[in-house]
Amino acid sequence: MKDSGAPPTVERMTTTATRAADSHPPAAVGTGYAPRPPTPRWWGDTGGLLAAASLLVVTVMWLGGRGAIDLAGGGSAAVSSAGRLTGLLAADLLLIQVLLMARVPLVERAFGQDRLARWHRLTGFASFYLMAAHIVLITIGYAAGANVFAQFWDMIVTYPGVLLALASVGLLVMVVVTSMRAARRRLRYESWHLLHLYAYLGVGPALPHQLWTGTDFAGSPLARAYWWSLYGVSAGAVLIYRVGLPLWRSHRHRLTVSHILPEGPGLTSVYLKGRRLDRLPVRAGQFFHWRFLDGPGWSRSHPYSLSGTPRGDLVRITVKNLGDGSARVATLQPGTRVLFEGPYGKLTGERYRGGPVVLLACGIGITPLLALLWDLPYGDGEATLIYRARSEEETAFRRELEWLAEHRGLRVLYLLGPRADRPSWLPRAHARRSDLEALREAAPDIRNSHIYICGPDEWTAAVRVAAQAAGVTAGRLHTEQFNW
């Protein structure tokens, strides 16, 4: 988009993709893969109820262990009782936090990874604060008016398992500090991801303390059965879905790099070949965590979306060079072996059954939406893609978009230019208009359309606000953010 100073209109705001001469789709992508049935809607509610029930069970067991009686009695016993409750709730939330990010397929499909990541973050902070309260209250309660610091030291050196629990707290402190937004902005993704893995190590050392010195654990067979079961389920979920399943799928499909192609400035597509990719249970719009076995740094995974669905023996991802490990992608050599975890994500067409659809992409957000454009069963003229980029040179996949415009009636609208001076999904040249007005003009049937959005957080939030103001219901508004 070039700004000539004229008032922006739909015609000036957009450029429709040129008609392509090819009669066959570009060979880069395919549409043959094994579809999955939609995730039942009740599964999400069930998961939330189970999490709430686990907290209720812990509270009931605390009540059964004289928790309320001690609390009502006052004095040091009341403080210790409150400390027991905060410790139990902290441990329960910590294990729920592990389950949230254990990559359990049904959980991923029900909630989507962006929502799970938010809940994981909130649950983690709540667990940490409760754990800190547990340490303070238990120490004060056990001191019973004596020197608190002497009591704390005595607990460390004489109570079985407390030193291990303190090591667990230290690991979790590191994870919490590096999860704060200010710290995350200063850390590379690889560094943050590696540090965050210590959260798993922070769970295990707490168990001996709970087993050997926990009043509620040691004094009740029901409590022991509950906690052993919860620890077992959490550890099993991590081992099965974070380790076992990715290794099995990587072995089964045996992906290697076929070739790489530049798509634009700092944008590279990686074509991966493998076996039985039509059996890979993936939907267009989803992403994987990838490890390229090309030398040092291979152990750190990176989340990249498919930019096309598997076609039997070939799959494609497209990566933006943002520094960190993404710069290595452009140097990958054919034959490099690949390990992967996934698929993940809920930005799919499993709820779409036809009718108008509007897809809004910003920058590298085009990759999952391009896969959706190949996959969704829209009719001729029913799909509109609004593609936001800083310049025409930074737009990617022109040939494929042109083919879709020619053969499937896709309407492609390019929004080019620098950012607006206000929070907006529009470029600066068109920011004199309201976000809602521009969205309605670009997609007149927006209220009755399914909306798919992918881009940076602030941009995505601005589009969501405009779409909701236009009357788009929650069930038709599909977003997924890949921030860490």
Taking all residues of the chain, what is their mean pLDDT, rounded to a whole number? Answer: 80
pLDDT at 197: 64
| 34 within a domain of the structure (yes/no) | no
- When pLDDT is averaged across residues 31-52 and rounded to a whole number, the result is 59
Task: Provide the greatest CA pair distance for the chain.
Answer: 86
Assess whether 340 and 357 both reside in one domain.
no
Q: Are residues 214 and 290 in the same domain?
A: no
For residue 378, pLDDT over 70 is answered with yes
For the record, the structure tokens of 148 come out as 């608190």
Residue type, 50: L
- What's 270's domain CATH number? 2.40.30.10
Q: Sign of the C-alpha dihedral, residues 465, 470, 475, 476?
A: negative
Using the Cα atoms of residue 253, residue 257, residue 259 and residue 261 in order, give the sign of their dihedral: positive
Residue 5 is assigned to a structural domain of this protein: no
pLDDT at 261 over 80: yes
Is pLDDT above 70 for 327?
A: yes
Please list, in sequence order, all residues whose beta carbon lies within 8 angstroms of the beta carbon of residue 411, skipping any fewer than 6 positions away.
16, 381, 383, 384, 385, 405
Q: What is the mean pLDDT of residues 46-71?
A: 82
Domain range for 145: 42-247
**pLDDT tens, position by position, 116-125:** 777 878 888 8
Give me the percent of the chain exceeding a pLDDT of 70: 80
Q: Is the pLDDT of residue 106 over 70?
A: yes
Residues 277 and 391 in one domain: no
Q: Are 48 and 186 contained in the same domain?
A: yes
Both 330 and 363 in one domain: the answer is no
The least confident of 156-170, 195-209, 421-435 is: 195-209
Contact between 462 and 481 under an 8 Å Cβ cutoff? The reply is: no
pLDDT grade, residue 190 (50/70/90)? low
215 and 270 share a domain? no
**What's the pLDDT score for residue 201?**
65
Question: Is pLDDT above 90 for 453?
Answer: yes
Tally of structural domains, the chain: 3
Residue 393 belongs to domain with CATH number: 3.40.50.80
Instruction: Give the residue-averaged pLDDT of 325-330.
Output: 76
Q: Name which residue leads in pLDDT, 67 or 23.
A: 67
pLDDT for res 44: 56
**Which pLDDT does position 469 carry in this prediction?**
94
Mean of the pLDDT values across residues 452-458? 91
pLDDT of the residue at 338: 94
Averaged pLDDT for residues 124-149: 87
Q: Is the pLDDT of residue 129 over 60?
A: yes
Task: Kindly state whether residue 33 falls inside one of the protein's structural domains.
Answer: no
Does residue 163 sit in the same domain as residue 273?
A: no
- Decide if pLDDT at 192 tops 70: no
What digits encode the pLDDT tens for the residues 339-365? 999 888 888 888 888 899 999 999 889
* pLDDT at 26 exceeding the cut of 70: no
Task: Return the top range by mean pLDDT from 33-42, 262-271, 422-431, 446-455.
Answer: 446-455
Query: Is 23 domain-assigned?
Result: yes
Q: Classify residue 78 by its DSSP letter.
A: H
Which pLDDT band, with edges at 50, 70 and 90, does 436 fall under?
Answer: very high
The mean pLDDT value for 302-307 works out to 88
The residue written with tokens 């979790």 in the block is: 172
Model confidence at 440, pLDDT cuts 50, 70, 90, reads very high
Distance CA 67, CA 58 (A): 11
CA Rg value for the chain: 26
Same domain, 72 and 196: yes
Position 474 pLDDT exceeds 80:
yes
Q: What is the mean pLDDT of residues 62-85?
A: 84
Q: What is the pLDDT of residues 224-243, one digit of tens each?
A: 888 888 888 888 998 999 89
Structural domain contains residue 131: yes
pLDDT band at 14 (very low <50, low <70, confident <90, very high): very low
Q: How would residue 334 be classed by pLDDT, with cut points 50, 70 and 90?
A: very high
Name the token pair of 237: 């979920």
Two tokens at 310?
């598997």
Are 49 and 95 in the same domain?
A: yes
Structural domain includes residue 323 = yes
Domain endpoint, select from 323, 344, 365: 344
Phi-psi region of 136 (alpha: psi -120 to 50; beta: other; left: phi over 0): alpha
Average pLDDT over every residue of 122-144 = 87
Domain termination residue (choose one: 216, 231, 247): 247
The pLDDT value recorded for residue 366 is: 92
Q: Are residues 52 and 182 in the same domain?
A: yes
Mean pLDDT of the 189-204 span? 64
Residues 350, 112: Cα–Cα separation, whole Å? 13
Do 272 and 211 belong to one domain?
Answer: no
pLDDT at 183: 60
Q: Does a structural domain hold residue 63?
A: yes
Look at residue 10 and tell me whether its pLDDT is greater than 60: no
Which is higher by pLDDT, 39 or 79? 79
For residues 314 and 41, the model is more confident at 314
3: in domain = no
Q: Are residues 397 and 309 in the same domain?
A: no
* Domain end among 310, 344, 378: 344
